[in-house]
Amino acid sequence: MIILGIETSCDETAAAVLLKDQNGIQILSNVVASSASLQAKYGGIIPEQAAREQIKSIIPVIQEAIENCKLKIENLDAISVTYGPGLIGSLLVGVETAKVLAKIWNKPLIPVNHLLGHFYANWISSVIPSISEESQDLNLEIASSPLAPRNDVPKFPCLGLLVSGGHTDLVLFKDHNKYEYLGGTRDDAAGECFDKCARLLGLPYPGGPEISKLATKGDALKFKLPVPMLDSKDFDFSFSGLKTAVANLISTSEVSAGLQQDHTPEVLQNLAASIEETIIISLVEKVARAAQKYNIDQIIVAGGVAANLKLKQALKKKAEAFSRVLHIPPPELCTDNGAMIASAGFFTKLIKNPLNLQADPNLSLS
């Protein structure tokens, strides 16, 4: 079975073609057009601007995805598309395009929850390595063959951690389309906290990768930050208080003076390391507790923050200590992409009438 996946929940415009056979789920092509460089000028995503860029990119991206794997329209068995959650303008671009193509091409349409889609990046058994080309016109990042095999797809039951710019959730998966929501953030998501703290430090958008770069040279023990909800008995998260603690710390005379002196970058590096370490402790401890409580030996991680190297190392260390198996997609499949949406499509029911599908910006896992 071959599925075309379309993803436009935020500022990326993505399409991918995946094949599912006896060898598992394989990526045939994966194309992402991002307006991140444009959004960086304003320190964040402007929804209307993101949607306008996606209107320009959506058809060329889909065309590129199909042409990359040298398939014809008749070779496609279905189209899967993100219908929520996300920015309503961006979602509409993908959903309406998918509806039109499904009718014109006479293909089944599969609606995919973007949050579940992230998890299904872990079911892709053959992935494209980080080889890319750039198109100046559409800012296309085009992943291409050859394929790198992966044989460690998750087994049920498994514990899922979704950690991204807009979401931080813990989910207990019992089977495909059968899961129990365990907890999530009560305010800011982990990725959102990274970005907001980065702005407080005067770092460019997106802030998460910038903090991680600085953190590699910093000492996390130099500044003591509170780990949010570490002692709570539930599996919820909270990161707004951490952001406030960082703001208060920056306002102190010692730290403020250090940040203003270009010849003392260690203050900035130490702050970045402390922020990253505190967020990681919160995430890892809640995952470990949930895995122990429900006696789960398979852990899957998804979302843009899952690409954070130190988080991966901390989760791997904790998983090995308790004899758990950890699954994390390669970095190119952690951020928004069409491959994860196509992968989820293999396990999701199609909609009978494509024209009935409506974008839902408030869709959730709970």
Q: What is the pLDDT of residue 311?
A: 97
Whether the per-residue pLDDT at 36 is higher than 90: the answer is no
209-221 pLDDT tens trace: 999 999 999 999 9
pTM for this entry = 0.91
90 within some domain: yes
171 and 145 co-located in one domain: no
Confidence of residue 355 (pLDDT cuts 50, 70, 90): very high
The SS3 assignment for 241 reads helix
Residues 183 and 254 in one domain: yes
Q: Are residues 162 and 148 in the same domain?
A: no
Is there a domain that residue 362 lies in? Answer: no
- Looking at the fold, whether 72 and 133 belong to one and the same domain comes out as yes
Rounded Cα–Cα distance for residues 182 and 159 (Å): 10
In this predicted structure, the answer to whether residue 149 has a pLDDT above a threshold of 60 is no
Angle between helices 309-321 and 266-293 (to 10 degrees): 40
Beta-carbon-side half-sphere exposure of residue 117 (alpha carbons within 13 Å)? 33
Question: Where residue 264 falls among pLDDT bands split at 50, 70, 90?
Answer: low
Are the CB atoms for 61 and 45 separated by under 8 Å? no
Residues 149 and 171 reside in one and the same domain = no
Q: Are residues 194 and 112 in the same domain?
A: no
Both tokens assigned to 255: 């730290």
Q: Specify if 53 maps to a domain.
A: yes
Same domain, 62 and 13: yes
Among 285, 279, 207, smallest CA distance to 245 is for 279
If 0-12 CB within 10 Å is exposed, 13-18 middle and 19+ buried, where does residue 15 land? buried
Report yes or no on 62 lying in a domain.
yes
**Could you tell me if 9 and 137 lie in one domain?**
yes
The rounded mean pLDDT for the chain is 90
196 and 284 belong to one structural domain: yes
User: Domain for residue 326, yes or no?
Assistant: no
DSSP per-residue string spanning 217-238: TS-TTSS----TTTT-SSS-B-
Q: How many domains does the chain have?
A: 2
**Domain of residue 64, residue span:** 2-153+331-356
Domain boundary among 243, 274, 295: 295
User: Across the strands, what pairs with 351?
Assistant: 109
Give the residue-averaged pLDDT of 281-300. 97
* Domain's final residue, options 242, 270, 295: 295
* Residue whose structure tokens are 């702005």: 199
**Predicted pLDDT of residue 135:** 37
Instruction: Using the CB atoms, write b or e for 204-227: b if 16+ within 10 Å.
Output: ebbbbbbbbebbeebebeebebeb
Asked if residue 365 is part of any domain, the answer here is: no
CATH code of residue 235? 3.30.420.40
